Amino acid sequence: MTLPVPRLSRTIALLVGRRIRSLRRERKLSQYELAARVGTYRPVIARLETGRHEPSLEVLRPVARALRIDLQTLLEGIDWPRVDRLARLTVRGVYRARRSA
């Protein structure tokens, strides 16, 4: 029985990454410059922006600080209704998978 939960976390990671990329570009920063401000390497920023790295709050706080915004502002720009729709589909899928097992 496979559950669709990873799809939800990948979607959230992708939406957070797009938000980070958008804010970085608004500030005319390169990935190298943002990485230097965060205290990490450019590939880490690239993986965050493309959704290949699931961001934790421990990762997002320094990124938000480097972009000179608070964490709430970073997360406010995300398409949460899309995440909510996907979450509801995920919960339905888990429920159906458990019922059929």
Q: Is 51 left (phi over 0), alpha (psi -120 to 50) or beta?
A: left
Q: What is the pLDDT of residue 1?
A: 38
Q: What is the DSSP letter of 67?
A: T
Q: Is the pLDDT of residue 5 over 50?
A: no
Work out the average pLDDT over 32-58. Answer: 92
Q: What is the pTM of this model?
A: 0.74
Q: For 51-84, what is each residue's pLDDT tens digit? A: 888 788 888 999 999 999 998 888 887 776 766 6
Q: Which CATH superfamily is domain 5-100 in?
A: lambda repressor-like DNA-binding domains (1.10.260.40)
Would you list the domain boundaries of the chain? 5-100
Q: For 11-22, what is each residue's pLDDT tens digit? A: 788 888 999 999
